[in-house]
């Protein structure tokens, strides 16, 4: 942890959107509870985004994740509720004044397709997908990498065949097994969470206004800040709750914020606790554009 963090500029970069089953996203919470927080369609699906975080830190342009992207062929795009055929992340980067070629460092919390699919080119009939971000160094946790290379039957469908081969062949893959990376520097530290998937990296970015945690699937959106709320996709929900509590208590003590990957309404929120002791996202922002911290 840096004692004198540098000022950084933050952006939220939206990728492709999804509609997924609300029951799966809220685990063992009853629909009577979770439908208070989100809209649900006739197929019991809720709206989700796949949001990346872009940080300008001096001469470094750092992207956290890439969303689901547009690599799926149509039948799988429909199966997983992906709403757009074009690669939305690339459009959003352009809107913010950037290109995928501008990214110097790309941090991947884990390699599930809704967080890493945006690494690949848009699907085209008869054409193999290719790796984007030609100038980026890729950071992945060692344990998350091993899981992607040797998935369990429970989550094998969550990984993209051949993606690890492409990342390794790039010559720009960096596997980390501790709480920091020399590429990123002292203002960036990793909190490892395994409740959702083994070795998921939660990156905490130190700013002059307190830390910002890129929460990935530990806390996919503001409703999941409530400690008992987990996803049906989580491998060890009880462990995830303990990990979530530790992170949120630390952020609260430090005046920190959480960046959400999947919440369509909240990109960034301050960690706060209400009169009942429940964590919530205070001062929520739906979009982050050139936010200096």
Residue 102: other Cβ atoms inside 10 A: 15
Residue 145 lies in a domain: yes
Provide the domain count of the chain. Answer: 1
Segment (H or E) for 60:
strand 60-64
Residue 137 has pLDDT above 80, yes or no: yes
- Residues 74-90: tens digit of each pLDDT: 999 999 999 999 999 99
* Interval 161-175: pLDDT, tens: 999 999 999 999 999
Please indicate, yes or no, if residue 110 is contained in any of the structural domains. yes
pLDDT value for 96: 98
Give the CA count within 13 Å in the CB-facing half-sphere of 201: 30
Domain containing 24 — which CATH number? 3.60.15.10
pTM recorded for the entire structure: 0.97
Using the predicted structure, report yes or no on whether residue 193 has a pLDDT greater than 90.
yes
At residue 98 the predicted structure's pLDDT band, cuts being 50, 70 and 90, is very high
For residue 2, pLDDT beyond 70: no
Asked if residue 76 belongs to a domain, the reply is yes
What's the whole-number average pLDDT of the chain? 97
Given a cut of 80, whether residue 258 has pLDDT beyond it is yes
Q: What percent of the chain has pLDDT over 70?
A: 99
Give the DSSP per-residue string, 69-101: TT-S-HHHHHHTTB--SS-HHHHHHHHTT--GG
Half-sphere exposure of 167 (CA within 13 A, CB side): 24
Q: What pLDDT score does 1 carry? A: 59
pLDDT digits (tens, 9 = 90+) for 48-68: 999 999 999 999 999 999 999
Note whether residue 203 is domain-resident: yes
Residue 74 is predicted with a pLDDT of 94
What is the Cα–Cα distance from 68 to 112, expressed in whole angstroms? 9
- Bridge partners of 46, per DSSP, are 20, 40
Distance between first and last Cα of the chain: 16
Residues 146-171, mean pLDDT to the nearest whole number = 97
pLDDT for the residue numbered 3: 77
- Residues of the domain holding 164: 9-292
Whether residue 3 is contained in a domain is answered as no
Asked if residue 1 is part of any domain, the answer here is: no
Give yes or no for residue 182 having a pLDDT over 70.
yes
Please name which of 170, 178, 115 lies closest in space to residue 137, comparing C-alpha atoms. 170
Report yes or no on 221 lying in a domain.
yes
Q: How far apart, in whole angstroms, are the C-alpha atoms of residue 187 and residue 6? A: 8
């Amino acid at each position: 942890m840096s004692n004198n963090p540098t000022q950084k500029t933050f952006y939220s970069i939206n990728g492709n959107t999804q509609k997924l089953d609300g029951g799966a996203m809220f685990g063992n919470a009853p629909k009577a509870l979770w439908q208070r927080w989100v809209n649900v369609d006739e197929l019991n699906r809720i709206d989700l985004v796949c949001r990346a975080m872009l940080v300008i830190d001096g001469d470094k342009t750092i992207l956290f994740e890439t969303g689901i992207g547009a690599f799926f062929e149509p039948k799988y795009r429909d199966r997983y509720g992906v709403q757009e055929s074009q690669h939305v992340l690339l459009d959003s980067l352009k809107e913010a004044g950037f290109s995928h070629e501008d990214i110097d460092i790309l941090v991947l919390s884990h390699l599930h397709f809704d967080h890493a699919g945006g690494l690949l080119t848009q699907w085209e009939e008869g054409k193999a997908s290719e790796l984007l971000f030609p100038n980026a160094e890729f950071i992945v946790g060692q344990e998350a990498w091993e899981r992607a290379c040797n998935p369990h039957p429970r989550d094998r469908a969550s990984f993209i065949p051949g993606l690890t081969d492409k990342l390794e062949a790039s010559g720009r893959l960096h596997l980390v097994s501790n709480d920091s990376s020399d590429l990123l520097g002292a203002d960036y530290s990793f909190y490892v969470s395994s409740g959702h998937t083994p070795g998921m990296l939660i990156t905490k970015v130190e700013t002059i206004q307190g830390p910002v945690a890129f929460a990935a699937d530990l806390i996919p959106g503001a409703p999941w800040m409530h400690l008992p709320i987990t996803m049906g996709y989580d491998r060890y929900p009880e462990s995830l709750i303990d990990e979530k509590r530790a992170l949120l208590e630390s952020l609260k003590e430090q005046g920190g914020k959480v960046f959400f990957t999947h919440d369509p309404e909240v990109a960034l929120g301050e960690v706060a606790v209400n009169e009942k002791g429940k964590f919530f996202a205070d001062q929520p922002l739906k979009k982050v554009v050139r936010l200096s911290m």
